[in-house]
Amino acid sequence: MKKIRVHPELKKEIAKEFSVTMQTVDMSLKYVFNSEQAKEIRQRAKELLQAESEDDLCCRIFYL
């Protein structure tokens, strides 16, 4: 089953950003919804995860 897993705080941020419910975000990330908005929500989730990953990498390099 295909889905994008993100921390609940990121889901809240996405819901606020898109002015939708947490359920809409959840269903979009689980690929239940496939509207244009759902695709944008998934894209935004990927961007936030990538940014979080890069921040973590920068912190690890800094502390080495």
- pLDDT single digits (tens) 3-17: 999 999 999 999 999
pTM of the model as a whole: 0.83
Tally of domains in the chain: 1
Q: What is the mean pLDDT of residues 36-50?
A: 96
- Residue 3 resides in a domain: no
Q: Which residue segment(s) compose the domain that 34 sits in? A: 8-63
Q: Is the pLDDT of residue 64 over 70?
A: no
- Residue 51 resides in a domain: yes
Q: Is the pLDDT of residue 58 over 90?
A: no
In terms of C-beta density within 10 A (0-12 exposed, 13-18 middle, 19 or more buried), how is residue 28 classed? buried
Q: Is the pLDDT of residue 24 over 80?
A: yes
In terms of C-beta density within 10 A (0-12 exposed, 13-18 middle, 19 or more buried), how is residue 25 classed? buried
User: At 18, is the pLDDT very low, low, confident or very high (cuts 50, 70, 90)?
Assistant: very high
Query: What's the chain's Rg over C-alpha atoms?
Result: 13
